[in-house]
Each structure stands twice: as structure tokens, then as C-alpha cells.
């Protein structure tokens, strides 16, 4: 795991030895010789780990004072104390105050490397856990075995190991963020941060603070998303909503790989892979002058399309079952069986809110039927009313249209509607439709032809 490590020590040869060893391990190091230069280095860019000497000559703050300062500003940042022979007790009290561990001078290479790896691993695990807690209601696994999903998985596998910027296109709730997370998980940056920032949910004036952070001016300093994502991935959700001014600033970051914080003058260098997403036609927004073409060209190095749920209806059964299990685990409501007709209704629905809407619907169904025994299957009548609105209706006596037809024509009309609904339910897959309705594939083709479909 390559990381940005800061070494703070007043002795130049200790700084050199520690940074030499850590660089041999593939890390990036920076050094500081007292508390002021250390705080300046941290404010240039927040490192992933700090090695901090306990006694520093000529420093405004000693090691413990600086440890307190660092912890107040960056609570999750691990600090390993460097202690001399005489001050093990101080090192131990530093651990009580929140330091991760200490190494003793003269130190052994193995011990130094081990402590660094452990500190980095622990902090990345902590980050993962807090990330998991935040999203514990959602699974991160991309489910579905439709051709569309297989294609999507292939694109993810192909693009993940590269460092290319990816633009994920697709309608709302189709799983764009999940795709971005899958790319992160399969990339060499998997152990580093995945920071997500939603342009649609943030006001334009707040957007720059969220992205670039603020420079301290007596008040609390905010670490921006770009800095938090250093070494990892920044996910820009719904870039179409980004104000033009922010677009220019993002473009500059992409060109120069560095930026300035809001209210600051210093340049902050970062190494961040950007994945962005949109539900809109950016080409059209470019035509209308609402999106910068040069930014689009830089963000969309590899475009990935996430198809709407209606283009992969055959995944619905798997999704419904998985969501039942997940919701049941979270809420304690027992999972239900959905009968074939009710499942067919779910498969035929238009799902404008895509997978998110499907998940919410399953949650609603489970809540509505929570008092029933889990042996009673969910029938069409138990589904939320809006789901059955678009179904082809069975002819009734008041349906004079079909009732006015002779049997042969009425049957043809019914067959046509029935077959079209089944084909749509199986995402246009004729073989699977044929299998389900119990017809030979070739016979179904002939039938469709004879019905003029
Ligand atoms: N293939 C999938 N398998 C399982 N769950 C999925 C899948 N795709 C999406 N989801 C779930 O659907 C919900 C919406 O997904 P996500 O937030 O990734 O969509 P999005 O396209 O980024 O939405 P938006 O456009 O609103 O940002 C989440 O709960 C996600 O876990």
C-alpha cells in the first residue's frame, strides 16, 4: 500500500534513515524538522501517516504538544512516535494520548517497516468500517446475470487496473455509484480512499469548499474531497449540475494535478483518479453552453454506460430475492415468497427510478405484508397499486372493443399483447421467453411473424 508519510525529527540523519527505509518500501515521504514546519507540511497536504520525534530541539511544540495539535485537526491520522532511549515512558504516555505506536532509537529496519504497515492498515480499515457503517443499508455487490450486466462487469474489469478517468452514464438509480465503487475495489487504489461528492446536492458556493477545502484563518480548517482522496479515487456524482466556475477549476486540477484551497494561496499537490457520473446528455449541455467541452473530453476518457433496469428485466428476480434478504437482515422483517404472477408484474413495470425504486418497492411490500405469515406468498393484489397500472387488462364485458371482435381476432389480439408483455419481461430474449411460455423458439418466431410483430 503506497502512502504519503511525513517524518518529523530535528536530526537530519534520522529523517534521512527513516525516509530512506520507507521509500525502499515504495512509500512517498516528506520531512519536517520542527513543529512549525510539520504543521506547514500537513497543511500542504494531509499525509496518511506521521512519524514524530518526542524531543525536538528549537521546536515551538515538543512531540506531545504536536501530537495533540495533529489529533485535534485530523482525528483519524495515525502518528507513530520516535523515542530516544531515555524517554520510553513519554512514548507510552503518548500512546495513551492517542499515538498509534512508537519506535525506539536506534531502530531496527524490520520494526520500522512493520509499524508503518500496521498503522496504515489500521487507518485504512477504520476508514473502511466508517464507510461501511455509513452505507450499511446498501450492499456493494453488483447483482444480475443479464447480458447487459455481464458487459458492464467486463468494462469494469477492463478499466479498473488502468489509471484512466471514467465517465459513467446512466439514468437515476441504475447503479452508477455502485459501478464506480466496483472499479475502485478492483483497482490498485482499492486500499486508499473512495470519496464521493454529489454536485446535485451541494450549493454552488459550497461546492468549492467541499472539493478544495479551506485554508486555516484562525477558524477550523476543512480538508476538501480532493485532498481526502489523495492516492485514491474521487467520485464526482452528477457532474451536469456543476457550476461553470467550478468546472473551470476542476479542469485546472486535471491539467495541473494541483489546486488552491478556498481562501488560500499555497498550491496543494494531489494524485487522484477521478470517476464521474451523469444521467444527462452532456453533449446537449455542451451545445447549450452549460458544460465545458474541454472538461468533458478530460473526464470521459473511458465512457461506461449503465443500462436502465428495463434493459435487463431478467435480473429482476435475482435483485428482488437479494433485496428481500438484505432488508430482512436489516429490519428483522422476514423475507416473503413472491408468486409467479406478482413477479411477472414486477418484471413488466417501467421502473423510472430503476434499481433504487425496485429496492424501495420491495421494502414497501415487506412492510405492508409484515403481519402475514411468511408462508403466504405475495400475490398481485398485495403489490402497490401503481405497479399494475400498465398491465394489459383481461377483456371485460364493458371492453366493447375486444368483445365486438370474432373469437379468432380477439384471440390474435390477446396472443399479441400476451407475447409482447412476456418478451418485454425477459428483456427481449426470445429463447428465454419461448422456454417460459412453453413453445419452441422457432415456433415462437413463426407465431410472432404471423401476428405481424
Ligand atoms: N446491479 C446492482 N445490484 C445490486 N444493487 C444495485 C445494483 N445497481 C444498483 N443497486 C442498488 O441500487 C441503489 C442505487 O444505486 P446507485 O446509488 O449506485 O445508483 P446511481 O445511478 O448512482 O443513482 P443516482 O443517479 O441517483 O446517483 C443502491 O442501493 C445500490 O446499492
The pLDDT score that the predictor gives to residue 199 is 80
What torsion, rounded to 10 degrees, do the Cα atoms 236, 240, 241, 244 define?
100
Tell me how far the alpha carbon of residue 173 lies from the centroid of ligand 1, in angstroms.
5
* CA separation for the pair 55, 64 (Å, rounded): 9
Beta strands in 9-91 (DSSP E): 28-32, 49-53, 79-83
Beta bridge partners of 304: 168
Count CB-CB contacts under 10 A for residue 440: 11
Q: Residue 191 has which C-alpha cell? A: 486500499
The pLDDT score that the predictor gives to residue 398 is 47
Class of domain 310-388: mainly alpha
In this structure, the residues whose C-beta lies within 6 A of any atom of ligand 1 are 138, 142-144, 170, 172-178, 237, 279, 355-356, 359
Average pLDDT over residues 337-364: 90
CATH 3.40.50.300 in the chain is located at 157-306
- pLDDT exceeds 80 at position 221: no
| Nearest-atom index, ligand 1, CA of 178 | 18
ipTM above 0.90, yes or no: yes
* CA separation for the pair 70, 46 (Å, rounded): 10
Full strand arrangement of the beta sheet holding 79-83: 28-32, 4-8, 49-53, 79-83, 101-104
* CA separation for the pair 51, 8 (Å, rounded): 6
pLDDT in tens, 93-105: 888 888 999 998 8
Are the beta carbons of 240 and 278 closer than 8 angstroms? yes
CATH 1.10.10.60 in the chain is located at 400-450
- pLDDT exceeds 80 at position 401: no
Average pLDDT over residues 356-379: 88
Q: CATH number for 4-134: choose from 3.40.50.410, 3.90.105.10, 3.40.50.2300, 3.20.20.60.
A: 3.40.50.2300
Q: What is the mean pLDDT of the chain?
A: 87
What's the pLDDT band for 166 if we cut at 50, 70, 90? very high
pLDDT in tens, 205-217: 788 888 998 886 6
Tell me how far the alpha carbon of residue 120 lies from the centroid of ligand 1, in angstroms.
30
Q: Higher pLDDT residue, 84 or 14?
A: 14
Tell me how far the alpha carbon of residue 357 lies from the centroid of ligand 1, in angstroms.
9
| Nearest-atom index, ligand 1, CA of 137 | 29
- Looking at domain 400-450, which CATH architecture does it have? Orthogonal Bundle (1.10)
CA nearest to 250, candidates 295, 194, 314, 202: 295
Q: Whose CA is nearest to atom 25 of ligand 1?
A: 172
Least confident piece of the model among 87-91, 92-96, 443-447 = 87-91
* CA separation for the pair 3, 278 (Å, rounded): 31
φ, ψ dihedrals at 237, nearest 5°: -85, 130
> Which of 175, 198, 319 to mutate to test ligand 1, by most ligand atoms within 8 A of the CB atom?
175
Q: Whose CA is nearest to atom 16 of ligand 1?
A: 175
The pLDDT score that the predictor gives to residue 156 is 96
Tell me how far the alpha carbon of residue 168 lies from the centroid of ligand 1, in angstroms.
12
CATH 1.10.8.60 in the chain is located at 310-388
Topology of the domain covering 157-306: Rossmann fold (3.40.50)
Q: Residue 390 has which C-alpha cell? A: 400498465
Q: Whose CA is nearest to atom 23 of ligand 1?
A: 173
The pLDDT score that the predictor gives to residue 39 is 94
Tell me how far the alpha carbon of residue 263 lies from the centroid of ligand 1, in angstroms.
36
CA nearest to 432, candidates 322, 358, 323, 347: 347
| Nearest-atom index, ligand 1, CA of 180 | 18
| Nearest-atom index, ligand 1, CA of 200 | 27
Count CB-CB contacts under 10 A for residue 249: 18
**Helix (H, G, I), strand (E, B), or coil: what is residue 12?**
helix
The pLDDT score that the predictor gives to residue 408 is 83
Q: Whose CA is nearest to atom 8 of ligand 1?
A: 175
Least confident piece of the model among 210-214, 399-403, 425-429 = 399-403
Tell me how far the alpha carbon of residue 275 lies from the centroid of ligand 1, in angstroms.
16
Amino acid at each position: 500500500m503506497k502512502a504519503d508519510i511525513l517524518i518529523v525529527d530535528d536530526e537530519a540523519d534520522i529523517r534521512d534513515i527513516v525516509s530512506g527505509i520507507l521509500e525502499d518500501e515504495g512509500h512517498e515521504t516528506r520531512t519536517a524538522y520542527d513543529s512549525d514546519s510539520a504543521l506547514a507540511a500537513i497543511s500542504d497536504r494531509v499525509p496518511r501517516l506521521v512519524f514524530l520525534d518526542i524531543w525536538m530541539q528549537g521546536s515551538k511544540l515538543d512531540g506531545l504538544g504536536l501530537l495533540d495539535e495533529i489529533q485535534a485537526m485530523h482525528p483519524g491520522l495515525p502518528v507513530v512516535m520516535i523515542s530516544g532511549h531515555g524517554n520510553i515512558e513519554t512514548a507510552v504516555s503518548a500512546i495513551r494520548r492517542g499515538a498509534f505506536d512508537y519506535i525506539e532509537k536506534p531502530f531496527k529496519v524490520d520494526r520500522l517497516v512493520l509499524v508503518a504497515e500496521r498503522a496504515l492498515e489500521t487507518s485504512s480499515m477504520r476508514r473502511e468500517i466508517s464507510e461501511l457503517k455509513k452505507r450499511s443499508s446498501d450492499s456493494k455487490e453488483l447483482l444480475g446475470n443479464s447480458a447487459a450486466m455481464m458487459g458492464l462487469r467486463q468494462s469494469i474489469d477492463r478499466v479498473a487496473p488502468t489509471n484512466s478517468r471514467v465517465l459513467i452514464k446512466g439514468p437515476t438509480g441504475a447503479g452508477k455509484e455502485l459501478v464506480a465503487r466496483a472499479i475502485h475495489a478492483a483497482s490498485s487504489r482499492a486500499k486508499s480512499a473512495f470519496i464521493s461528492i454529489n454536485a446535485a446536492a451541494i450549493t454552488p458556493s459550497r461546492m468549492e469548499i467541499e472539493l478544495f477545502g479551506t485554508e486555516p484563518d484562525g477558524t477550523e480548517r476543512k480538508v476538501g474531497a480532493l485532498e481526502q482522496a489523495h492516492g485514491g479515487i474521487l467520485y464526482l456524482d452528477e457532474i451536469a449540475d456543476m457550476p461553470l466556475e467550478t468546472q473551470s477549476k476542476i479542469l485546472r486540477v486535471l491539467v495541473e494535478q494541483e489546486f488552491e484551497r478556498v481562501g488560500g494561496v499555497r498550491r496543494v499537490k494531489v494524485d487522484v483518479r477521478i470517476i464521474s457520473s451523469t444521467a444527462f446528455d452532456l453533449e446537449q449541455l455542451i451545445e447549450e453552453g452549460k458544460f465545458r467541452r474541454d472538461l468533458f473530453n478530460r473526464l470521459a476518457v473511458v465512457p461506461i454506460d449503465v443500462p436502465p433496469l428495463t434493459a435487463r428485466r431478467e435480473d429482476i428476480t435475482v435483485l428482488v430475492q437479494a433485496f428481500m434478504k438484505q432488508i430482512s437482515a436489516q429490519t428483522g422483517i422476514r423475507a416473503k415468497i413472491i408468486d409467479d404472477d406478482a413477479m411477472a408484474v414486477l418484471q413488466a413495470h417501467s421502473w423510472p427510478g430503476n434499481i433504487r425504486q425496485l429496492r424501495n418497492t420491495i421494502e414497501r411490500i415487506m412492510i405492508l405484508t409484515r403481519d402475514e405469515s411468511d408462508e403466504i406468498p405475495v400475490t398481485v393484489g398485495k403489490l402497490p397499486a401503481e405497479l399494475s397500472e400498465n398491465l394489459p387488462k383481461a377483456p371485460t364485458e364493458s371492453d366493447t372493443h375486444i368483445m365486438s371482435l370474432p373469437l379468432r381476432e380477439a384471440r390474435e389480439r390477446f396472443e399479441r399483447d400476451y407475447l409482447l408483455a412476456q418478451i418485454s419481461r425477459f428483456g427481449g430474449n426470445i429463447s428465454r421467453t419461448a422456454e417460459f411460455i412453453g413453445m419452441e423458439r422457432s415456433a415462437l418466431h413463426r407465431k410472432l411473424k404471423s401476428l405481424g410483430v
